[in-house]
């Protein structure tokens, strides 16, 4: 790292043990020495906006996501009442839906209970936009707004990522072949 003129910041180093809850409980080390400073072992760490916990269950990430989204919904609830439906859709898309979509491909294999928490946030956003009651079924409203349920949305995003990766690889390979062929002809 020193050849690239990079240095570690000892104030930002976090140490976390990964494993099942039983495995993590068996580790008695609570502090690790790094760069001549002691660093405490943490239960969760945030990296690029994703909260990672020691069991890699993403429960801490989903809790933080829901907490942030519900806070934003409470703040937007005051403004949405005085807006048109289209303006409310745009506002909710900007503040809530993009947060739900960020790194959502990580949610592919989370438990049903955690997925229900994220789905409840999406349901609350749809209810805020349309003024639907809590007792009314949300599925027809989701269809009306052309919104997929969260699990299907995650699957769709993964499919798009994989398709995009394959398309990029094919394009890159073709460009590489053309470049190599033109280079060889120039010799």
Listed by start position, the domains of the chain span 2-42, 58-164
More confident residue, 111 or 134: 111
Global pTM exceeds 0.85: no
Cβ atoms of 89 and 129 within 8 Å: the answer is: yes
Cβ atoms of 50 and 44 within 8 Å: the answer is: no
Distance between CA atoms of 64 and 1, rounded to whole angstroms? Answer: 33
Q: Angle 59-80/85-92 helices, nearest 10 degrees?
A: 150
Helix (H) or strand (E) run with residue 31 in it: strand 31-34
Per-residue pLDDT of 57-91, as tens digits, reads: 888 899 999 999 999 888 888 888 788 888 888 88
Q: Which residue has the tokens 């749809």?
A: 126
Percent of the chain with pLDDT over 90: 6
More confident residue, 157 or 30: 157
Cβ atoms of 17 and 41 within 8 Å: the answer is: yes
10 Å CB burial of residue 124 (0-12, 13-18, 19+) is: buried
Cβ atoms of 132 and 126 within 8 Å: the answer is: yes
Amino acid 116: pLDDT? 92
pLDDT of residue 51 exceeding 80: yes
pLDDT of residue 172 exceeding 70: no
């Amino acid at each position: 790292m020193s050849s690239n003129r990079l240095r570690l910041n000892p104030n930002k180093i976090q140490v976390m043990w990964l494993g099942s809850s039983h495995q993590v409980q068996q580790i008695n080390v609570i502090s690790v020495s790094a760069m001549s400073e002691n660093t405490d072992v943490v239960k969760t760490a945030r990296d690029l906006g994703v909260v990672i916990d020691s069991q890699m269950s993403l429960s801490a990430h989903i809790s933080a996501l829901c907490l942030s989204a519900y806070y934003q919904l409470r703040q937007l609830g005051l403004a949405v009442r005085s807006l048109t439906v289209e303006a409310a859709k745009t506002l909710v898309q900007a503040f809530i839906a993009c947060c739900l979509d960020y790194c959502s491909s990580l949610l592919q294999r989370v438990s049903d209970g955690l997925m229900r928490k994220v789905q409840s946030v999406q349901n609350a956003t749809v209810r805020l936009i349309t003024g639907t009651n809590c007792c009314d079924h949300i599925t027809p409203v989701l269809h009306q707004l052309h919104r997929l349920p969260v699990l299907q949305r995650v699957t769709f995003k993964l499919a798009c990522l994989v398709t995009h990766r394959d398309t990029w690889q094919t394009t890159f390979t073709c460009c590489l072949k053309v470049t190599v062929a033109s280079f060889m002809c120039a010799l």
